[in-house]
Every structure is written in C-alpha cells, then in structure tokens.
Structure 1
C-alpha cells in the first residue's frame, strides 16, 4: 500500500484521538489517515474515553482492577496528561481521586498536567489540578513554569489563580527570562502589575543582562515602561553589551519611547561596549526625529571621547537629513575617527567628508564643505577618491574648497602627484587640476633621462592599504603612462602637461611613446627647446599671482584676451 507523504502540522506527541485533532500542540508531524486509524485502535480504553469526553466511562474504568493509570505512551503521557490537554476537568477529578500521587508526574519533555492545562488555557483544569496538590513551580525542559506560560498566553485569570496557589514569581527560564519579562514584552500592564504586587523583581536581568525595562524599550511598549518606572525600575541599567533602554529604543526607532525616557532623565551619554552612544545609533538608523530629541541631552565632549562622530555614521549611510541636523546643531565637521575606528577600514579613512565622497553623495559633500570641512585630513585624500570615480562635480567642489591637488599616497610613493595618475583618462579633469596648481613639472623628472629604461614591471592596480609593504623607489610618471591602461592616451596627456611647464627634456620612454604615432609628432616638437617666450611669461605670471589670486583674475582691469591666455583658454581643445 502506498502511503501519502507526511504533512507538517503542529500536533501533540501523545496518542491521537478525535478531540486531540481539534487542539494541536507543537510536537511533531501529523501522521497520515492510515496511521491515525491504526493508532486509534492501539489506544488504551481509558485514553479513548478521556479523548471522547465520556466521563461516565472513565469513572467505571478507573474502578476496574486491571486499569493502570500510570501506563505511559512513548512520549511519557499518562491518562492525566491527556485529560489536562483536552480540557476534561471532570476526568481529572476522577483520575486524581483514584490516584492522587500522580498529580505532578511529567512527560518525557518534563511537562506536568498543570503545564499542559495552562498551555491550552483550560482554566477549570488548572483549578482542579491546583486544588489536588499540583506544584505550580515545576518547569518544563526549557525551564518555563506554568506561571511563565500563563503570561505568555496573556491570561490574567490563570496568572491570578497560579499566584494565589503560591507560584514563584521570579523563577526564570533557560535564557533567564522571568514571567515579568514575558508580560512586559507583550505590553500586558494588567498582568505586569499582578506580578509586581506578588513580588516580581523589576530589575532582574536575564542571562544577557537584559532587565524588563530594557525589554519594554526594545519592543516599544510605553505602557509597560511607565508601569516599571513607577515601580522602581532602574532607568539607566545596562545589558551585558553595555546598551541601555534608551539605546535600544533609538536602535529600534521607537520615538514615543525615546521621548518618554528622556522626559524621565534617561542618560543619553552612556556608551555601550562598542563605544557608540544613543545618538550614534539613531544617526546610523536615519531617524531624524530621534536625533533631534537626543541632541539637547547629548554631550559633545562625551561624543568626542568615543572616537567617532554621529556625522561619520550619517555620512556613511547617506543620511543627508541627519547630517544637516547635526551640522546645524554644531557637531564638528572636522572630527576624525580614532585609530581604533579608522583601522576598521582598509583605506584608513578618518573624516565624515571622506565617507560622503566615497559614496559619491554630492549633497552631503556640499553640506560638509560649506560647513567648513577640511578636505585634506585623510591619509588618502578625498580628492583622489573623486578623481578615481570620475565625478567632475565632486572634484570641482573639493578643489574650490582647498583640496590639495598635489596630494600623494604615502603607501604608494610616486615622483609626481597621485591626482595626475587618477585622471589620465579624463583629460578635462587633468587640465582642471593643472589650472588649479597641480605640479606638472614633476611628471617630466626621470632618473633614466635619455638612457635606455628597464622593462616595465607588471604592477598591481594602485590601492591604498597602509599595511602593504611599500617599495624603496618611487614610481615615475613614464612608468605609469607606459602601462597598457594609459599608453594609448600618452600623447594627449603629455600635450596637456606641456602647457604648464617651461623647458623640459622628455625621457627616452616618453619620446618612444610620441614616436609611436605619426599624429603625435607635433607634441614632440612642442617639447623641444626653446619654449616660446609667451609660454615662459605665462608661467612666471601664474607663479607670481598664485592660485588664489588667479581665481579672481577676471576682476582685474586687464584685457579679456590676456586673462584667457593666462588661464590657458586662448584656444579650444577637444579631448
């Protein structure tokens, strides 16, 4: 006979009868109908009578000499467990009159008849069992007591009954939760107050140091929170990881809880073991309402001591609204990450501006720069990040606010500015950097000069890892431009650079590049001395004026043609 595949429904692990199918418990799988019929036939007569609610039959069977009320099935269930589970309170009374000593017998999972009755919310059964001596403190395998289970079911009548029969109110489950933890989590104030009146400890932690007030804040239960504080709960207690109730409320975005906690003078300056304070986590999660509430209660000095600003976290997660609020509140836009926090990033970033540029977030970059952010604080200059991304708008913003166009990468030393290397494919950007003071002359400095050059070594892509071992010699411009990535751009790149230098001598490798294309012969001739006098004068004027004054040259009383010449705008270029 081919049997049907087993269907996964929550059921009791006990013998299955007709009534048992109506109120399943999570214990295993439903057998198919063939198995149900087969097992129904295997049931003890008294179990069948209990499942069918045949009280008269049960009364007759317990009087028979051969009836053993302690016979258990494979899961350790005796007839009393069946009666409690199915809500047969009259059967319970009959069974306990016949053999009262079995009232606290447990199944293989340590469940007493009382626990089963509570789990199924059979109040009459619970009362019958308690009246007949059931111990209300015997826990199941998870160390949950009947009182805990009654709180889980949110049944105040059952909780009251168990407490009246002396249930221990502070017993905890395997994870350390008490009945009060469970009731707070469910925001059942009525049950919470019953437990507190019965002696529940409002500051009792679970195995992770979490107290009921922490649970209320974490789950957004304002009513339970108010009740706990009224009964003496420690507002600023910390869990094992150092988190407070306020921190958890901020983390989970419960604005009403945060507002209430702050109104009760919750400490907004307690960092957890990660070093983060409530305002940090609120900025990271992007809740501008919570951040606005926390700002007046947060000490900027305490924030500085954490080694990380909420500005960093807001910029990292592109929380522009939060960034704006924090900037308006006076948080330092030039705050840098501590060494410990900076080491968590491969590029050793340190400023909030770096995060904004890395995310290509132009709005955030603009806000930070206009608020006074220094674009030159990081080991790897944010300008280099923007150049590598090819974002003209970000590059322009950074340069206008004083970014160092001659920045180098300390871990990858080069003879020439690293900015040149990152914009070789973007000649418009290269010219823009030159116009703003980038050092073009260093690109023509070569230790080999006109002598033969050694073969080009295959190099990895330039990265910025401070832990990487650096080479003793600096990388030269002719080496970089000779790589497969840039060699086809060599002529136009050299052409742009020549506009910003005086007398230079091209090294053998650069000459070799210019000789490789007939179209580049004019560029080679352009480099040969003597350079035009007008070019040398232009360089001298630019040097004397300086970059800052050159930016204002349009306001000088000089002919427009001269201004265009000084700014290298005398002829159109197409790249």
Structure 2
C-alpha cells in the first residue's frame, strides 16, 4: 500500500467516513490489512485507531478492532493507547467499548499518565465514572508525583472532586514530587468551591508547605485569587505573613507577580507591613516589583507607604533592581518619582547595570535633566 493511499486512510478516519475507509482497506486485500495494523504515522507515531479514538468515531474504532484486527493496546511514540486518546477527549462510548475489548484501564503513557488522569483534565464525570467502575486507581502517581485527584483539583469541578472522595476517601493524602498537595493546586488555580470542599472534608494542616515553603495562601494571593485567600484565612487560619524557604512573604510574592489588588488586600485589609523585608538579602516588595519591571505595582506600593529609598543588604535601591532586570520603564518611573541613582556597598551604581539601549537612554536623560 503506497503512501498516498495511507494518507487517504488517515483522512477518511479523521473525517469519520467508516464506509469509505472499509472499502479502501478491503480493496487492498490482506496486504492492506497488514499495512493498516502496522503503520504508525508522523512524529507522534499514531495509528488509525488512535485517530479514531481521539475523535470519537466509535464505528471506526469497532471496525479497526473487530474486522481489521488492530491491537486494542497499540501505542504511539508517547506510549499513548487508544484508551488514553478517548479518555482525554471525553468520548465515553469509545472508552466503554475499548474497556469491553480488553484495554488495560491503568495503562501508562509517557510520564506515567493513566487514562483516568487524562480524563480528569476534562470536566466529564461520566468518563471518569466509567474508568473507575472498571477498576481505575485514582491513587496512582505520574512521574511528577501527581495523582488523578491533583489533576481534578486543578480543573476545579466540584462534582468530580466529590465523586473521587466518595470512591477513594484517602485520595487527598498525597503530595507531588515537590510536596505540593491538591490544596495547593486548587488554591493556585483559583478553584474556590474545590478549596471549600477540601477544607471541609480533608484533614490538611494550616499553612501546609511544599518543598519551597510555599503555602496554599501564598499560591492563592500571588495569583490574584483573593476570594480563595479570604477563604483560607477564615476557614483554615492561614498566615498572611508566613515565609517560604527564601524568606519571602506574600507581600513580596504579589509584588513579583504584579498583583496590585492583592497588595492592597494584604496591606490595607490585613495590616501587613508594606516595607517588610525578606530574610537573607533584605529585599522589600518595592525591590521585587522593580526587578520584575511592574511599573503599576511600583506606584501602588508607594501609595501604600513603601519606602522609595529602602536599600537591601548590598545597599541596592529599587533603581538598582530595575536596572539589573533591564526594565527601562520601571527605571524611568523610579527616577520620575524622585529616586536618585547611587552606589551600592560595592560602589556600583544602577546605571552601570544598564545593558539595553533604551535603559541606557533613560539614565542619560536623567543625567541631562539634572545638569540643565
């Protein structure tokens, strides 16, 4: 069977034209059948069965398995089986059929993802239930240490979370390879209803930390999910001033991510010190905002009482940090607000860190303004 004919078979499969597909394969005789069973296409190494399962063409899936004789466990270059494809695209009928034909419910693709994990990336409870009814294990972990419950918490469907906890009440007792819990995941992605369920039904300790010392509250607030942050404060006694392993607190972390409303929430509502320094190198939130080039956050911090002239352990101001980060707009903003260039404890000025032409021009203009 030549390449053009094989490409046509792929096209017919993707379009769901089962009759035409069968006609072309039958006309090619046993050689065509053998070619279809063995042929893997493209970089992914998909077979016709992968295409059919991914697109939910149940009649073609049945034809390829029953009439052509394709292996229900055939895998592509990522070790994905047809069941992975059908589960990941929420094709329940194909999932059911593949399982009836002997597909292994907990087969592993690359990075140790199971069909149930793939299904949990979608909000389709029926497919998840089908896999669980056939014995899928929600506690299995992929190479990053995530189980299906982690993934479901990221997607944020309360019905799926309730069902997984019903089937496997202890499935929440898991950590990723970096010690992140499902509570971290739900908080980071702003899944408020899921966070509420986890706080009500699971025994997480307040301010549970991952390997970097990050708490669920930190995850919520630095990603701008203030309703989740409030929920963790009210229902889980989370600390708004806990520090990670680098000594940074939420006030520093929201400056890094440029979350202005979160800054106002921390400083005005929770009375967090806007000039609180991270332990170690003694950076303030203003230093972090300047290093990331967040001009609006710089202005917000100053409105909240940030010390424009604060220096870290090395004697660097926010202007040094803006220059280190090569952020011309942030440096211009700081100069306009009245911060002067100066030397750090090593005798290096902010201007000396400037590499980009636009940033160099900012300092040149500043010098011209001072000389005039």
Aligned counterpart in structure 2 of residue 118 of structure 1, from 53, 59, 66: 53
Query: What is residue 291 of structure 1 aligned with on the other side?
Result: 229
DSSP-derived class of the 1:314 partner = helix
Aligned 8 A contact 1:353 1:368 in 2: no
1:79 maps onto 2:18 in alignment: no
Once residues 367 and 302 of structure 1 are traced to their aligned partners in structure 2, the CA distance between those partners, rounded to angstroms, is 17
Which ranges of structure 1 fall in alignment gaps of 5 or more residues?
A: 1-11, 26-48, 62-66, 72-77, 83-104, 343-348, 396-406, 413-459, 466-483, 490-575
Aligned 8 A contact 1:357 1:382 in 2: no
Once residues 410 and 205 of structure 1 are traced to their aligned partners in structure 2, the CA distance between those partners, rounded to angstroms, is 49
1:142 maps onto 2:96 in alignment: no
**C-alpha displacement at 1:143, in angstroms?**
1.2
1:304 maps onto 2:243 in alignment: yes
**C-alpha displacement at 1:164, in angstroms?**
2.3
Give 1:12-411 correspondences, 5 Å limit.
15=5, 21-24=11-14, 51=21, 53=23, 69=30, 71=31, 78-79=32-33, 105-108=37-40, 115=50, 117-119=52-54, 121-127=56-62, 135-232=71-168, 234-265=171-202, 266-267=204-205, 269-296=207-234, 297=236, 299-300=238-239, 303-304=242-243, 306=245, 307-327=247-267, 328-333=269-274, 335-339=276-280, 342=281, 350-352=283-285, 354-355=287-288, 359=295, 361-368=298-305, 378-379=312-313, 380=315, 389-391=335-337, 409-411=344-346
Once residues 72 and 133 of structure 2 are traced to their aligned partners in structure 1, the CA distance between those partners, rounded to angstroms, is 18
**Cα distance, 1:20–1:121 mapped onto 2, change above 3 Å:** same
If you compute each CA radius of gyration, which structure gives the higher value, 1 or 2?
1
**Cα distance, 1:248–1:268 mapped onto 2, change above 3 Å:** farther
What do the CA deviations read for 1:88-120 (whole angstroms, capped 9, x no partner)? xxxxxxxxxxxxxxxxx4224576665565345
Aligned 8 A contact 2:106 2:114 in 1: yes
What do the CA deviations read for 1:306-361 (whole angstroms, capped 9, x no partner)? 4111011223444332223223335454542132xx4xxxxxx5223555788574
**C-alpha displacement at 1:188, in angstroms?**
1.4
Once residues 231 and 107 of structure 2 are traced to their aligned partners in structure 1, the CA distance between those partners, rounded to angstroms, is 38
Aligned 8 A contact 1:169 1:198 in 2: yes
**Cα distance, 1:253–1:198 mapped onto 2, change above 3 Å:** same
What do the CA deviations read for 1:528-554 (whole angstroms, capped 9, x no partner)? xxxxxxxxxxxxxxxxxxxxxxxxxxx
**C-alpha displacement at 1:168, in angstroms?**
1.0
**Cα distance, 1:51–1:188 mapped onto 2, change above 3 Å:** closer
**C-alpha displacement at 1:294, in angstroms?**
2.5
Higher relative CO (Cα under 8 Å, sequence separation at least 6) belongs to 2
What do the CA deviations read for 1:170-228 (whole angstroms, capped 9, x no partner)? 11112321110111111211111111121111021222222112222223333322322
**Cα distance, 1:381–1:250 mapped onto 2, change above 3 Å:** same
Once residues 301 and 19 of structure 1 are traced to their aligned partners in structure 2, the CA distance between those partners, rounded to angstroms, is 59
After superposition, the CA RMSD in angstroms is 4.3
With structure 2 as the length reference, what TM-score do the two structures score? 0.69
With structure 1 as the length reference, what TM-score do the two structures score? 0.48
Once residues 381 and 116 of structure 1 are traced to their aligned partners in structure 2, the CA distance between those partners, rounded to angstroms, is 58
Give 1:395-434 correspondences, 5 Å limit.
409-412=344-347
DSSP-derived class of the 2:112 partner = coil
What do the CA deviations read for 1:58-111 (whole angstroms, capped 9, x no partner)? 5xx7xxxxx861x2xxxxxx23666xxxxxxxxxxxxxxxxxxxxxx4224576
**Cα distance, 1:13–1:364 mapped onto 2, change above 3 Å:** farther
Once residues 288 and 301 of structure 1 are traced to their aligned partners in structure 2, the CA distance between those partners, rounded to angstroms, is 12
Query: What is residue 438 of structure 1 aligned with on the other side?
Result: none
**Cα distance, 1:21–1:294 mapped onto 2, change above 3 Å:** same
**Cα distance, 1:81–1:150 mapped onto 2, change above 3 Å:** farther
Aligned length: 329
**Cα distance, 1:268–1:464 mapped onto 2, change above 3 Å:** farther
Aligned 8 A contact 1:334 1:352 in 2: yes
**Cα distance, 1:201–1:356 mapped onto 2, change above 3 Å:** closer
176-185 or 321-330, which deviates more: 321-330
Aligned 8 A contact 1:217 1:249 in 2: yes
Aligned 8 A contact 1:242 1:271 in 2: yes
Aligned 8 A contact 1:292 1:325 in 2: no
**Cα distance, 1:318–1:168 mapped onto 2, change above 3 Å:** closer
DSSP-derived class of the 1:247 partner = helix
DSSP-derived class of the 2:127 partner = helix
Once residues 56 and 84 of structure 2 are traced to their aligned partners in structure 1, the CA distance between those partners, rounded to angstroms, is 13
**Cα distance, 1:107–1:298 mapped onto 2, change above 3 Å:** farther
What do the CA deviations read for 1:485-533 (whole angstroms, capped 9, x no partner)? 79967xxxxxxxxxxxxxxxxxxxxxxxxxxxxxxxxxxxxxxxxxxxx
